[in-house]
Structure 1
Amino acid sequence: MTLAVVEEMCSFEKSRKCFKNNGETSQYDTSFTCLPCAPGCTTCIDDRPCILTLNWVQRSIVLAVACIIVGFIPLLVLFTVRYRNVKLFLGSWPGESHPDVHLALRCRDQVATSVSERYPTRRNAAAKWASPSLIWCSRLAVEGRLVMRAASPVLLRIVLLGAFLLYCPMIVQYFEPSPLTCSITIWMRELGFSISYGALLLKTWRISVVFRVRSAQRIKISDTDLIKRLALIVLIFGAYLSVRMVIGRPQIVNGVHSNGLRTKQCSWDVWDYCAAIAELGLLLWGIRLCIVVRKAPSEFNESRFISWAIYNETLLSLFLNITMFFLQSPSNPDLLYLVRFIHTQLTTTVTLTFLFGSKAYLVYKYREREHPQTTINRGSKYTAAP
């Protein structure tokens, strides 16, 4: 029985005239009341719901875990500030009988292998390429390096800022979807991705430029230079988001759950595919950089950990986009929320673990303090010199 039929019957019954029966007035008109349908229902025969109720218990647990993990970001920022002057002689790694000499020789052999593979017949070019790298190896082993300074603490904090933005969608998506929450989620995701992974890719790009120089020309790429290039990447993503908010602002669409109940979810259209392609393009460029620097000597193996993070993000982002495509119908908002949470932890959290886990291990196990006055205003730079 449809709602229109029910309303027609009620109207007919209410229009009946009172009549006398055994000297009493009939109360039939006031004995029944037509109840409204459940919210969101266009037709109904009873009070059963038509819209899926979100699993708030599950969502609350997921949100609580996400907030706990986000709480570690300020601690990591404090870590980069407090231990910025911790100096580590790389020879203090365990297993080295004469650490400084052995490390220099190992670094030299690694450079020599890379040179011979790249220039098998050009000795002059090989010598020019290897000269700055061998100088770097020697200084690295003998003088030691500041763990945080060598990793560019400013860029590390920028990565943490991007990671914080990548965590924020979990807070926004906790609530029922609306055009505002859908828009905020997109802004947080794209800006966080461009900031965090843009900084990591530029750090890798700097290593590739310095250690692939083909001449004895001196090259300096400071943190400021990288920040300028990072600003350009973020600006491009910001321009895309601005255009999308004007032309293709996300809307709320109705889906159908497997049990037949209707659901509300953010639209997934061509704009989302464009963003996914842009992210994939940036990550593929990062994979190319990782392949280039795979044999280049790097302080504290940072380039290796960054490479692992980029490979991990690329594979899991492909998995997420494929999953989002198939989870649009039948719709399950609680499952989508859980999938996004797992994806965030397997990408952003794993990236931070790669990036800061090794540094925390080095700082707490093999450290030697350097006087703070000798490290003031010494911005991190990679230099290739003759």
Structure 2
Amino acid sequence: MVFLSAKLEDGHWTKPYFDCGGGNIWMVTGKASVDIELTNIDINQCDLDTRHSYSDFDVFRGTHRCPSTTECKFLKGQGFKRGAYECFCTKGYYFPDMNAQVKAFSGLEMENSSDTAQYKCLPCKEGCSKCVDDSPCLYQFQFLFRFLLLLANLLTFIGIGVLFATTVYFRDESVMKAGSPIFLMLMCLGGLMICSTGFFAYPQPSEFLFITQHWVFHTGFCLMYGALVAKTWRIAIIFRSADKFKIVYLPDKELLKRFSPLIFILALCLLIWTTSEKRKTQTLKTSNHLKYEVCMRSYWLYAINCVEAFLLMIGVYMCYIGRKAPGHFNESKYMTWAVYNGILLGSFLLILIHLIGNSYGPDILYLFQCLQIQVFVTITLTLIFIPKLLSLYRKDDLKMINDSFNLAYGCKHMRTNSKDITQTKAVATQTHENVGAYSKDVNPSYNCKLTKLELTQGIQLVHKLWK
């Protein structure tokens, strides 16, 4: 290491003198010149980095002429001259010249230019944190495609409203009583709620819409399929009890009491999900790297799906138990088809959504959601209500009265009296709850040989029509 020092011949010096009062010391005064080469010293005009402390070489900091859409980057080894920097585009902006090898503005050009307004980067498209051109980063909705789906969903919603009004208007008809009007209306209400989720999913997504959509959809699902499974369960219980000629009392009020815990469990899960999850949305990308927002799947939503799947499995088991029920016994055949439709086609659509839906963007997800509405709502309500509407149109009630009396009282030596009929009418209910009660009112002296299935069917039809 070499230390430089000034010598006597390097400057001009006075003779030694005594400094009185200043320090009371002997001293000498002189001057010397120092030459320093600045050619190899770099001038850094970029902004001072707050992570480093200020030094004597930072006197030129912050004198660059980069515009606000760029950031200054220092070029080392340029020597003692201005413009030793480049202006690179900041995040959210891109360089306008796509074909440039160095996508930055030269600092020397900036220093020599009188107008720096022409040197600016262009903003990226909405949703892009960084970009190299003006290509979009957010998925752009195909509004015509979505509008057609929304229109189909609206027509479905109106159709369900018509079914609800029809059920209320014809609630005293036997064909409606056979299916319990209160449960038919619950199914329509659930269908309306499921169908309304198509309206929430149409606009740009937000956390409020996601929360509302899940609350409405899952509540509607449990109302609709809970009512359907409850009706199927009552059929299975009544039919099994009818084989043993036992009295089963399951009115609508009693069935609603057993139906309510399902709604409570669902509401509790949805409430925990709403309060526990702080962030309800997440950003996904399509196969073309376009970003879009979707609802974040959490453990509580999967738990709700498991509850709904368990509900459908119970319905499948109830359908298996009551598979041999008579055809006119609470439309059991159509209810069985409706439950199978919900679990098979519904599960298939859910698998498609998780496997390929996210890769093709929100439009395909919206299509799958509308198909899900048609599977869970349209097909199910069609299976339940179309036979009833056809019966109302053909006025099958009178025919069913004749068939029921021919079946139950068609034996040659069958005898009855007004007291028997009165008792039969007294024990019958709107939903055929007292299947075995009629068997006790039948005169034991009847000389009629009927199969168990025929007797069960006749008893149920007579009870219904006398109500």
Q: What is the TM-score of this pair, normalised by structure 2?
A: 0.62
> How far apart are 1:211 and its partner, in Å?
1.8
Give the distance between the partners of 1:368 and 1:50, measured in 2 at CA. Answer: 63
Q: Secondary structure at the match of 1:71?
A: helix
Q: Summarize the alignment of residues 190-201 of structure 1 with structure 2, pairs less than 5 Å apart.
A: 190-201=218-229
Q: Residue 58 of structure 1: which of 136, 140, 145 is its match?
A: 145
What is residue 175 of structure 1 aligned with on the other side? 203
> How far apart are 1:44 and its partner, in Å?
2.0
Give the distance between the partners of 1:179 and 1:270, measured in 2 at CA. Answer: 18
Letter in 2 for 1:292: I
Instruction: Give CA-to-partner distance per residue, 1:139-192, whole Å, 9 cap, x none.
Output: xxxxxxx11112111110011001111111111111122221111121112111
Instruction: Give CA-to-partner distance per residue, 1:68-99, whole Å, 9 cap, x none.
Output: 1100122112211222344xxxxxxxxxxxxx
Identity within the alignment, % = 30
> How far apart are 1:279 and its partner, in Å?
1.3
Instruction: Give CA-to-partner distance per residue, 1:261-306, whole Å, 9 cap, x none.
Output: 2222111233332222211111111111001011122536611101
Matched, 1:83 2:178: no
Specify which structure has the higher proportion of helix.
Answer: 1
Q: Secondary structure at the match of 2:433?
A: strand
The alpha-carbon distance between structure 1 residues 282 and 220, as it changes in their structure 2 partners (threshold 3 A), is same
Q: Summarize the alignment of residues 306-317 of structure 1 with structure 2, pairs less than 5 Å apart.
A: 306-317=335-346
Instruction: Give CA-to-partner distance per residue, 1:181-227, whole Å, 9 cap, x none.
Output: 11112111211111100001111111111221275442211111111
Matched, 1:355 2:349: no
Q: Residue 233 of structure 2: which of 200, 205, 210 is its match?
A: 205
The alpha-carbon distance between structure 1 residues 17 and 339, as it changes in their structure 2 partners (threshold 3 A), is same
Give the distance between the partners of 2:279 and 2:244, measured in 1 at CA. Answer: 51
The alpha-carbon distance between structure 1 residues 294 and 273, as it changes in their structure 2 partners (threshold 3 A), is same
What is residue 155 of structure 2 aligned with on the other side? 68
What is residue 55 of structure 2 aligned with on the other side? none
What is residue 39 of structure 1 aligned with on the other side? 126
Give the distance between the partners of 1:11 and 1:163, measured in 2 at CA. Answer: 65
Q: What is the TM-score of this pair, normalised by structure 1?
A: 0.74
Conservation of the 8 A alpha-carbon contact between 1:63 and 1:171: yes
Matched, 1:267 2:267: no
Give the distance between the partners of 2:219 and 2:379, measured in 1 at CA. Answer: 19
What 5-or-longer segments of structure 2 have no aligned partner?
1-68, 72-87, 92-103, 399-424, 441-467
Q: Summarize the alignment of residues 121-160 of structure 1 with structure 2, pairs less than 5 Å apart.
A: 146-160=174-188
Matched, 1:326 2:421: no
Q: Secondary structure at the match of 2:214?
A: helix
Cα RMSD of the aligned pairs, angstroms, is 2.6
The alpha-carbon distance between structure 1 residues 39 and 208, as it changes in their structure 2 partners (threshold 3 A), is same
The alpha-carbon distance between structure 1 residues 218 and 57, as it changes in their structure 2 partners (threshold 3 A), is same
Q: Summarize the alignment of residues 276-287 of structure 1 with structure 2, pairs less than 5 Å apart.
A: 276-287=305-316
If asked which structure has higher relative contact order (CA below 8 Å, sep 6+), I would say: 1
Letter in 1 for 2:182: V
The alpha-carbon distance between structure 1 residues 329 and 201, as it changes in their structure 2 partners (threshold 3 A), is closer
Letter in 1 for 2:379: V
Give the distance between the partners of 1:301 and 1:222, measured in 2 at CA. Answer: 14
Instruction: Give CA-to-partner distance per residue, 1:12-49, whole Å, 9 cap, x none.
Output: 5897376xxxxxxx4x3233443322111111233221
Q: Secondary structure at the match of 1:259?
A: coil
Q: Residue 16 of structure 1: which of 111, 129, 140 is its match?
A: 111
Letter in 2 for 1:362: S
Conservation of the 8 A alpha-carbon contact between 1:252 and 1:265: yes
Instruction: Give CA-to-partner distance per residue, 1:86-127, whole Å, 9 cap, x none.
Output: 4xxxxxxxxxxxxxxxxxxxxxxxxxxxxxxxxxxxxxxxxx
Q: Which has the larger radius of gyration?
A: 2
